[in-house]
Amino acid sequence: MPTDARRTTLATIARAAGVSVATVSKVVNDRSDVAPQTRARVLELLHRHDYFAPVFRHTEGPRSPTIEVQFAGGLRPYVAEAVEGIADAAAELGASVVIGTSSHAPHWARDLVTAGRRALIGVTSVYTEAHLKALARAGLPAVVLDPLHLPHNRVNSVGATNFAGGLAATQHLLSLGHRRVAHLGGPAMAACNQARAHGYRAAMEAAGAPVPPAYVRPGEFTYRAGLAGAAALLDLDEQPTAIFAGNDEIALGVIEAARTRGLRVPEDLSVVGFDDTLLARTASPPLTTVRQPLREMGGVALRTALRLANGEKVESHHIELATELVTRASTAPPVPRSAVGGGSGPA
Residue 4 lies in a domain: no
- State the average pLDDT over residues 300-313: 92
pLDDT at 186: 94
The CATH number of the domain holding residue 39 is 1.10.260.40
State yes or no: pLDDT of 8 exceeds 70.
Answer: no
pLDDT digits (tens, 9 = 90+) for 37-74: 888 888 888 777 766 554 333 344 444 689 999 987 77
Q: CATH number for the domain including 93? A: 3.40.50.2300
**Which value, in Å, is the radius of gyration of the alpha carbons in the chain?**
26
* 76 lies in the same domain as 115: yes
pLDDT at 2 over 60: no
Hey, what's the torsion of the CAs at 278, 280, 282, 283, to 10 degrees?
A: 150
Do 272 and 225 lie in a common domain?
Answer: yes
Q: Are residues 157 and 305 in the same domain?
A: yes
pLDDT tens for each residue of 99-137: 987 776 778 888 899 889 999 999 877 777 788 888 888
Residues 168 and 228 in one domain: yes
Domain count for the chain: 3
Backbone conformation region of residue 256, classed left if phi is above 0, alpha if psi is from -120 to 50, else beta: alpha
Which of 24-38, 100-114, 271-285 shows the lowest mean pLDDT across its residues? 24-38
Q: Averaging pLDDT over each range in 45-49, 78-82, 229-233, which range is the top one?
A: 229-233
Q: What are phi and psi of 72, to 5 degrees?
A: -120, 150
Calculate the average pLDDT of the chain: 86
Same domain, 230 and 284: yes
Confidence band for 1, pLDDT divided at 50, 70 and 90: very low
Regarding whether 268 and 203 lie in a shared domain, the answer is yes
Measured CA to CA, the distance from residue 117 to residue 98 in angstroms comes to 9
Same domain for 270 and 285, yes or no, is yes
Residues written for the chain: 347
Are 237 and 315 part of one and the same domain? Answer: no
- Is the domain of 302 the same as that of 332? no
Which residues span the domain enclosing 112? 58-161+295-320
Banded pLDDT at 299 (limits 50, 70, 90): very high
